[in-house]
Structure 1
């Protein structure tokens, strides 16, 4: 029989080994992110890496607001903290809209195989009547990837009607083309079925039940006391998307000069995405949410725990499995599951995640019971000489590699 002394010694050794491994991970993450801040490649970042119930790394680096509109350093740059809200950009698609659709599926109010035309009558046409909710969630609907909706629309209802009228760009279900427009329509379906605004539905059914008190649309209007990281100076990249054919987004029927409502100031608490801000008053199914690493982790915990929140079943395990099963394009519904993506390169089977244009990303690795949340406000340094923003994929890949290495060491 093992003695109490021997067990205690063994336990302390084991804890010491784990502590050393954790410390090594922290040092490696510090080296990755602090190096990018020191080189002025990113203004700042917040990261949360969690294994099981243990936060392996939770730390902020650099600045939430560093430069002014003329790309001159502020006299008093604002250091970022783990409590800062970041514009999570396309993470809105999974944190907000996909979760909303999951809840409606769970309640039996919709089915992912339902035709979109069941809810949006403008899709009851020979071209579009085969498009289903699954097609929207999996980016296989054939819709345009992006369209400058604000050139024609001033509110969400006008946005919805315009998307109905736009022709398809690809054949339905034949290929995957990541589409903001599909998730805008999913937001409309949430509103139609629930008879609530998208903002109200998410707040009442996701954020309040999960105590995600710092996740919201339009924080500059709703909670002016909050600390918020700054992003871009207006929308210079979107302006280029409209006018520069090299990027592949220009529309022959649109003259870049026919609309000129561009913002000309640093964005802080206003969503960076132009379609969300200019055409939808800051609220959309594809972008617009702001959040913190702590809040995002609360929803991740639910997904990792087969739909269980702290003391109740938030979403059924059946629905979790439905949305987190790979399709023929190697992705889930809403969530990315294709391990060829750099931010989750060679991830084990069952891993899922998503990225956001502002520099945000989430990866969940169920086999290791680990999740990684990274919030970077890369746009606050302005555009590079080549008229793009600094590409954070290498940072994501380095951090993911470090975590997977840590996971392997712990398993050994």
Structure 2
């Protein structure tokens, strides 16, 4: 699996020394039948994007066969923020996160037999239905298909901060429609 995050600002960061071929925590690419030169080319591609001003920085994670072969940060956070990007830098990928992150993770759990798409959300988050008893009927499938009945979004980012605050807000959010009766693209559903 390859996950690449690029910040969408247009100022290059300072030049960086080339990273070593393999950092602590990474495995030798050849040990998982991956061409090490492909990773060098990927490093060069990211560094060129930074030098060209396409992005100020990037975080990269490359895994193969359950092993981490590349975990690097490049450049800086942004035009007005010279903080170096490191492998743990988190970027808001907006709606792309739903496909790349959430859906992939859910499908992996499904493949492992740990969930069923028709499981109700309250099986995993018992208090989730506090804001509206109809939420006890919402399934994982309905969340993924944006048919949970939840509203599209709330402007919570102006009002609250932190994981617990968001979980409390989502738990207390009432449905706008009965589960399964309406399709409404819902960031709140995916945040659940």
User: Rg bigger for which structure?
Assistant: 1
Length-normalised TM-score, structure 2? 0.50
